[in-house]
Amino acid sequence: MTDWLYWILIFLFFAGSLFLLHIPLPHDISDRSKLAVAEFLLRMSNEYFGDLVENLFGSVVRNKLSRFILKIGFLMPPKEPMEIKRREVKIGGVPCITYEVANRKSDGLLVFIHGGGWCVGEAAYYDDCLYKMLLKLRMNGVSIDYRLAPEHPFPAGLDDCESVILSLYHNGCENLEFNRNKIIVQGDSAGGNLTATVCQRLHRKNEKFVKAQVLIYPVTHVFNFNSPSYQEYWKKYSGTALLNPKHMARWILLYLGLECNKKTIKKLLNSQHLDADFENSETYQELLHYDKLPEKFKNDHTVRARRDVDSELAAKFQKVATNPDCSPIFGDCHGLPPALVLTAGYDVLRDEGIQYAQKLENSGVKTKWIHFPRAYHGLFNMPNSEDRLEMMHEIVNFMSFHI
């Protein structure tokens, strides 16, 4: 009887702990049951334990922990399809993965740039996505393993991506056949940012060979932490391990090479890196203000009281972050290749993806914007997701039209 009571008490303790730690996800979010398990495990490790590590050792060490935790999820790589030959190579001096597809129907080339806030992630983590896409497209692909911040802050990762794409166009790639005039660049999240910025950079240098660009819930600027999509995080799924404002603020500071600690992260979240002159400027109002978003995305927006601006942080931040190589929404988009922009409903980056799609369209770029209201940030890399299949279907259709 005593033994049974002992085990019952242990069960009640763990059951109670799980109940107290449970944070319900939105009822209509994609992959809700599967995501609930992944989110809980990620929250225990990368959020709660990560906060402890950051308090003790700082943001740089916490970022290394995030890399380690992410790597655990990909310890068992997906099986390489018989129809694809995967190779790890260097292109333009940058580590890459090439995917040579048998029985090709297209001589185009997909160049993929992975996400991860510029600070975490590896090209190999997207093998499964690329296997599936390239087999549907029946074309070859390259995935770029660019350098990560904070060890290699802006613009190191962007320089790597540009180097690879220029080398592919001008020098080709051994063991990989493709038509150099049919290169499509694609990326998700921070990789979407690098895709957009590298397309602008190449265009400014009169290297106008990129056939099309695919931006999957991209980062397009690093200023507005008070937009409706950021506010929806706090209202609908606050505390979860889905991409949250604190992670974005931390990665942005690390990427830009600025001082990163809990204090500066909090200042970004409170918009203390924006001085009044910049926030009231014509550029900010035209490009970054939420007022131009579709009505359904701004109904619940609350205007927050301004906090005291950190003038020193604002000056440093605006100097680097208004550079189009960092925030492509500030760049000249006229003449850029056709674009597909995908946004997700449960994503703090939703609004800036919409804003960039609007800017592209207003600049005369052939732009297709598709919104997935049930999707969450990171869906594109979620295995066995039906909604990911829908997203991939749209990408494949777009790319097939442009190659």
The answer to whether residue 189 is catalytic is yes
- Catalytic member of 66, 189, 227, 229: 189
The answer to whether residue 347 is catalytic is yes
- Catalytic member of 128, 377, 385, 387: 377
The answer to whether residue 17 is catalytic is no
SS (H, E, C) the chain: CHHHHHHHHHHHHHHHHHHHHCCCCCCCCCCHHHHHHHHHHHHHHHHHHHHHHHHHHCHHHHHHHHHHHHHHCCCCCCCCCCCEEEEEEEECCEEEEEEEECCCCCCCEEEEECCCCCCCCCHHHHHHHHHHHHHHHCCEEEEECCCCCCCCCCCHHHHHHHHHHHHHHHHCECCECCCCCCEEEEEECHHHHHHHHHHHHHHHCCCCCEEEEEEECCCCCCCCCCCHHHHHHHHHCCCCCCCCHHHHHHHHHHHHCCCCCHHHHHHHHCCCCCCHHHHCCHHHHHHCCHHHCCHHHCCCCCCCCCCCCCHHHHHHHHHHHCCCCCCHHHCCCCCCCCEEEEEEEECCCHHHHHHHHHHHHHCCCCEEEEEEEEEECCHHHCCCCHHHHHHHHHHHHHHHHHC
The span from the CA of 292 to the CA of 290, in Å, is 6
- Catalytic member of 347, 351, 385, 387: 347
- Quick check: 89 and 143 in contact, CB under 8 A? no
Residues belonging to the active site: 189, 347, 377
